[in-house]
Structure 1
Amino acid sequence: MSDPGVLAVMPLHTISEVYGEAGLRERLLLEIAEFEEPKRLLEALELASHLHADDSYGREPYMNHLLRVAIRIASHYEVRDADVVVAGLLHDSVEDHPRELADEGTTAAALAEIARRFGPRVADIVAAVTNPATDPSRDRHEQYREHVAAALARAPWARVVKLSDFTDNGVGILYSSDSHMRKLAAKYRPLTDVYRELVARPDTPLADHVKQHILVQIDRADERFDAILARRPGSAGQE
Structure 2
Amino acid sequence: MEFPSYLGTMPMHAITEIYGESGLRERYRLEIERFGPHDRERLAAALALAAELHREDRRVREPYLNHLLRVAIRIMHHYDVSDVDVIAAAVLHDAVEDHPDELAALGEAAGTGTEDALAVLAERFGERTARLVAAVTNPVYDPSFDRYEQYREHVRESLEREPWARVIKVSDFTDNGVGVIHTTGPKVERSATKYRPMVPVLRELVARPDTPLSRLVKQHIFRQLDLAEERFAAILDGR
- Distance in 1 (CA, whole Å) between partners of 2:147 and 2:186 is 19
- Aligned-partner residue type, residue 92 of structure 1: D
Unpaired segments of 5 or more residues in structure 2? 106-110
- Distance in 1 (CA, whole Å) between partners of 2:214 and 2:230 is 25
Aligned residue number for residue 20 of structure 2? 20
Shift of residue 105 of structure 1? 2.4
The within-5 A match list for 1:1-239 is 1-4=2-5, 6-36=6-36, 37-103=39-105, 104-232=111-239
- Distance in 2 (CA, whole Å) between partners of 1:18 and 1:127 is 33
TM-score (ref. length: structure 2): 0.95
Shift of residue 165 of structure 1? 0.2
Shift of residue 15 of structure 1? 0.6
Shift of residue 91 of structure 1? 0.0
- Distance in 1 (CA, whole Å) between partners of 2:20 and 2:187 is 21
- Aligned-partner residue type, residue 196 of structure 2: R
- Aligned-partner residue type, residue 38 of structure 1: R
- Distance in 1 (CA, whole Å) between partners of 2:33 and 2:44 is 10
- Aligned-partner residue type, residue 11 of structure 2: P
Q: Deviations over 1:92-135 (max 9, x none)?
A: 00000001111332110000000001000000000000001111
Q: Deviations over 1:13-49 (max 9, x none)?
A: 1110011000000001000000121000000010000
- Aligned-partner residue type, residue 30 of structure 1: L
- Distance in 1 (CA, whole Å) between partners of 2:26 and 2:159 is 30
- Distance in 2 (CA, whole Å) between partners of 1:151 and 1:189 is 19
Shift of residue 179 of structure 1? 1.9
- Distance in 2 (CA, whole Å) between partners of 1:169 and 1:90 is 16
Shift of residue 178 of structure 1? 2.3
Moved over 4 A (4+): none
SS of residue in 2 equivalent to 1:79: coil
Name the count of aligned residue pairs. Answer: 231
* Sequence identity (%): 59
Shift of residue 2 of structure 1? 2.2
SS of residue in 2 equivalent to 1:53: coil
